[in-house]
Amino acid sequence: MKIKILLIVFFISQFFYSQVLKLNDTINDARKLSLFAADFESRTPQLISQLESRKIGDQKTISSLIKIRKKIVLEFAKNQYIYFDEESEKYLNDVFQKLLLANKIPNQNLKIYINRETNPNAFSIGDGIFFINISLICKMDNLDELYFVLSHELSHYLLDHFEKTIVLEEKSLSTYKEKSKNITKKNKFEQSISAMKDYTYFNKNRSRRQEKEADSLGFALFKNVSNNDFSAEKILTKFDSISPIEIAQVDLDDFKKEFQTKDLKFNDDWIDLASYKSYYYKNGRSDVFGLDRDSVATHPEITERIHILKKQFRTGQNDLQTENVEFSALKLKMISQNLMSYYLSQEYGKGLYYSLQLEKINLASDFEKNLKSIFYEKLYESRKNHSYKKYVEDVDISHQTKNYSMFLSILENLSLSDLLKLKEYYEHE
State pLDDT tens for residues 22-60. 334 445 578 888 889 899 889 888 888 877 777 666 677
Rg of the chain (C-alpha set)? 23
Mean pLDDT, residues 105-128 taken together: 88
What is residue 56's predicted lDDT score, i.e. its pLDDT?
A: 66
Q: Above 50 in pLDDT, residue 317?
A: yes
pLDDT confidence bin for 420, thresholds 50/70/90: very high
Tell me how far apart the 2 most distant CA atoms of the chain are, in Å: 68
Mean pLDDT, residues 401-407 taken together: 92
Query: What percent of the chain stands above pLDDT 70?
Result: 74
What is residue 75's predicted lDDT score, i.e. its pLDDT?
A: 76
Task: Please tell me which residue, 5 or 115, carries the higher pLDDT value.
Answer: 115
pLDDT confidence bin for 239, thresholds 50/70/90: confident
pLDDT confidence bin for 134, thresholds 50/70/90: very high
State pLDDT tens for residues 244-257. 788 999 999 999 99
What is residue 68's predicted lDDT score, i.e. its pLDDT?
A: 75
What is residue 412's predicted lDDT score, i.e. its pLDDT?
A: 93
Q: How far apart are CA 28 and CA 355, in angstroms?
A: 22
Q: Above 70 in pLDDT, residue 7?
A: no
- 3-state SS, one letter per residue, for the chain: CHHHHHHHHHHHHHCCCCCCCCCCCCCCCHHHHHHHHHHHHHCHHHHHHHHHHCCCCCHHHHHHHHHHHHHHHHHHHHCCCEECCHHHHHHHHHHHHHHHHHCCCCCCCCEEEEECCCCCCEEECCCCEEEEEHHHHHHCCCHHHHHHHHHHHHHHHHCCHHHHHHHHHHHHHHHHHHHHHCCCCCCHHHHHHHHHHHHHHHHHHHHHHHHHHHHHHHHHHHCCCCCCHHHHHHHHHCCCCCCCCCCCCCCHHHHHHHCCECCECCCHHHHCCHHHHHHHHHHCCECCCCCECCCCCCCCCHHHHHHHHHCCCCCCCCCCCCCCHHHHHHHHHHHHHHHHHHHHCCCHHHHHHHHHHHHHCCCCCHHHHHHHHHHHHHHHHHHHCCCHHHCCCCCCCCCCCHHHHHHHHHHHHCCHHHHHHHHHHHHCC
What is residue 169's predicted lDDT score, i.e. its pLDDT?
A: 61
Task: Please tell me which residue, 151 or 400, carries the higher pLDDT value.
Answer: 151
pLDDT confidence bin for 117, thresholds 50/70/90: confident
**Alpha-carbon distance values, 345 to 14, 22, 385, 396 (Å):** 12, 14, 19, 20
Q: Above 70 in pLDDT, residue 397?
A: yes
pTM of the predicted model over 0.75: yes
Mean pLDDT, residues 278-295 taken together: 42
What is residue 4's predicted lDDT score, i.e. its pLDDT?
A: 43
State pLDDT tens for residues 176-210. 445 445 555 445 444 444 444 443 444 556 677 88
Q: How far apart are CA 399 and CA 396, in angstroms?
A: 6
Q: Above 80 in pLDDT, residue 162?
A: no
Query: What percent of the chain stands above pLDDT 90?
Result: 44
Q: Average pLDDT, whole number, for the chain? A: 79
